[in-house]
Amino acid sequence: MSLQEAAAQAEELAQAGSERELAQLRAQWDDELEAAARSADFRERALAFRAVGMFRWRAKEELLRRGLDDGSPAARGSALLSLEVLSRDHPSTVNSVRPLLHKMLSDEDENSAVRRLAVLVLKNGSAQRDTVVLLEGLAIDDRADGELRKAAGTVAQGLKRKAQEKR
């Protein structure tokens, strides 16, 4: 079985709520996932970062943080996809990497798909004012990609609603 197949199996186990089997699979693939994350091949790194989310592997959040700094847009995107999955029930996951996400969004040279994924990850975090201001700025930036502007505006509004509901 390959890491990709194991990750797909882990996704199925996670969706079925089979925590014991998922934990066993994590233990079995720990070394291989770490090795893939250090590979010289960006495709292997991207697969490793994506697998962290599919395994619902909270203990590997630091690995995802490194993935956000990877030289490959594919690897950064995979790390963002995993962060989005892990942060659905745990806003602290987003909050711990918020400065890196803000940096990605502010960098006009960053890959546009990666920037859109960073916006989607921020939707799961807490509604901090600096994030909302950054997203609103992106939403009206004529130089930004149209899909990025739309996503930023939608997420900014969602975070504002989240903040109002807490009051």
Within 8 A by CB and 6+ apart from 149, the residues are: 138, 139, 140, 141
Helices 3-16, 19-37: crossing angle, 10 deg rounding: 150
Within 8 A by CB and 6+ apart from 156, the residues are: 132, 135, 136, 139
Low-confidence winner among 2-6, 102-106, 131-135, 142-146 (lowest mean pLDDT): 142-146
C-beta separation of 46 from 74 below 8 A: yes
Residue 150 — pLDDT band, cuts 50, 70, 90?
very high
* 109-137 residue pLDDT tens: 889 899 999 999 999 988 889 999 999 99
Q: Is the model's pLDDT at 163 over the cut of 90?
A: no
**Alpha helices per DSSP H over the chain:** 3-16, 19-37, 42-54, 61-68, 73-87, 91-95, 98-106, 112-122, 129-139, 146-166
* 25-49 residue pLDDT tens: 999 999 999 999 999 999 999 999 9
- pLDDT mean over 73-95: 93
Low-confidence winner among 40-44, 69-73, 75-79, 143-147 (lowest mean pLDDT): 143-147
Residue 167 — pLDDT band, cuts 50, 70, 90?
low
Tell me, what DSSP letter sits at residue 125?
A: S
